[in-house]
Amino acid sequence: MTDFLATGSLPEDYRDLAMTVREFARAVVAPVSAEHDAESSFPYEVVAGMAEMGLFGLPFPEEYGGMGGDYFALCLALEELAKVDQSVAITLEAGVSLGAMPIYRFGTEEQKRHWLPQLTGGRALAAFGLTEPGAGSDAGGTKTTAVVDSGEWVINGSKQFITNSGTDITRLVTVTAVTGTTGGKKEISTILVPADTPGFVAGPAYDKVGWNASDTHPLSFTDVRVPEENLLGERGRGYANFLRILDEGRIAIAAVAVGAAQGCVDESVRYAGERDAFGKPIGRNQAIAFKIARMEARAHTARTAYYDAAALMLSGKPFKKQASIAKMVASEAAMDNARDATQIFGGYGFMNEYTVARHYRDSKILEVGEGTTEVQLLLIARELGL
C-alpha cells in the first residue's frame, strides 16, 4: 500500500473507491448542498446514501459490520466528498474517527459488538465530548466530573462544539471526565453515555459561520447515571487515548482540507474557461492562470503530506509529526485556495449558491478544529526536540 508514494499512483482498489465516491458526491451531494447550507439542515438523505455505500464502515473489520478497509480508504472518501460539501465530509469524518474509532481502539469486546455494527453501518452516529467552555486546546483543563455510586458513574458537567451530537440518529456520546486524582494531577477517563440517558441534554444547535449542514451542539450532564462498565478503556487513560485518536483524526481532517482545496481549484478552472472578460476567457490572463497554478500546487503539496502520514500510520511507524504537518499544511491550503477562488469568481464568489463561497466560509474552521494551527506547530517543534 505504501508504494503509491514512490510511484505517484494509487492501487486499483483505492482508485475505484475514490471514483465511486466522486460520482456519488457529484450526483447526490452537490445538488442539495446549497439548500442544506441555507437552511442549516442536516442531510439525512445523503447520510443514508453514504451508509448504503458502506462509507461509515470503511476502516473497520467485517466482524463488526465494517468493510474491511483501512484509514487511508476513509481519507480518500473524505477528500472526494469535501470537494463539493465540507459539512457532509465532516459528518463522515467525525462519525468514524471520533465516534466509532475510540470504541474500536479501546472498547471491550462487549462494547464493540453492541455499538460498532450500528455505527459502522451508518444507522447511528456517535460523538466525542471533549471540548468544554474552559478546555479546548488545553484538554487537561477538563472540569466535567464522574464519580462511582452504587455501581454507576454519575456525570456532571458540560461540553461544547460537539459534532454529530444532536441528530435524530445520534445514539451515543463518549465523554471525557475527571474521575479522580493521581499524584496531584487530574485522572481523566472516557465514559460511554447513550443519548437517551436521563440528565443528558443536547442544547440548541449553534448558529455557525460555516459547516451549516453539520450537526453541532453544546451538551450538558446533570447527575447522568450510566453503568460502571460503560468506562471506555482503562480508568485514567482517557486523555492519553484521545491524543492517539486525535493523531489519526488529523490525517482525516487533512484529507477533508485537501478536498476543499482541490474543489476550489476545480471550480476555478471551470469558471476561468467559461467567463469572458474583454473579449476572451479570463483563464487566458496570466494573473488568473498563475493564481490557479499556485492553488493546484498547494493542493498537491497538502495531498502528498497526508498520503505520507497515512502511509506511516498504516505501516505501524511513528506518524505524530507527519500528521500535524499534514493537518497544518492542508488546512492552510484550503483557506488560501478558498480566498483565491472567491477572488477569481468576483461577485459570484460572494453568493452562497456557489461552491467557492461555501468553501470560503467553511474552510476557516479547518485551521481550528481537532487542534489549532498553533497546536500543530507546538507538536512539530516537540517532535524536533525543541
C-alpha cell at 14: 483505492
Residue pair 247/74 in contact by the 8 Å Cβ criterion: no
Q: Structural domains in the chain?
A: 4-125 (1.10.540.10), 126-236 (2.40.110.10), 240-383 (1.20.140.10)
Side-chain-side CA neighbours of 315 within 13 Å: the count stands at 12
Residue pair 310/71 in contact by the 8 Å Cβ criterion: yes
C-alpha cell at 176: 471525557
Q: Single out the residue of 163, 24, 40 nearest to residue 92, CA to CA.
A: 163
Q: Is 158 helix (H, G, I), strand (E, B) or coil?
A: strand
234 is catalytic: no
C-alpha distance across the termini of the chain, in Å: 33
CA angle 76–81–85, rounded 5-degree value: 150
Report the 10 Å Cβ neighbour count for 33.
Answer: 22
Question: Which of the 8 DSSP states describes residue 28?
Answer: I
C-alpha cell at 240: 492519553
Distance CA 251, CA 74 (A): 10
- Tens place of pLDDT per residue across the chain (386 aa): 455 655 557 899 999 999 999 999 999 999 999 999 999 999 999 999 999 999 999 999 999 999 999 999 999 999 999 999 999 999 999 999 999 999 999 999 999 999 999 999 999 999 999 999 887 777 678 999 999 999 999 999 999 999 999 999 999 999 999 999 888 789 999 999 999 999 999 999 999 999 999 999 999 999 999 999 999 999 999 888 888 898 999 999 999 999 999 999 999 999 999 999 999 999 999 999 999 999 999 999 999 999 999 999 999 999 999 999 999 999 999 999 999 999 999 999 999 999 999 999 999 999 999 899 999 999 999 999 99
Residue pair 328/370 in contact by the 8 Å Cβ criterion: no
* pTM for this model (two decimals): 0.95
Question: How many residues can be counted in the chain?
Answer: 386
Report the 10 Å Cβ neighbour count for 276.
Answer: 10
Report the 10 Å Cβ neighbour count for 184.
Answer: 5
Q: Single out the residue of 139, 194, 146, 147 nearest to residue 172, CA to CA.
A: 194
Q: Is 217 helix (H, G, I), strand (E, B) or coil?
A: strand
Of the candidates 79, 93, 267, 370, the residue annotated as catalytic is: 370
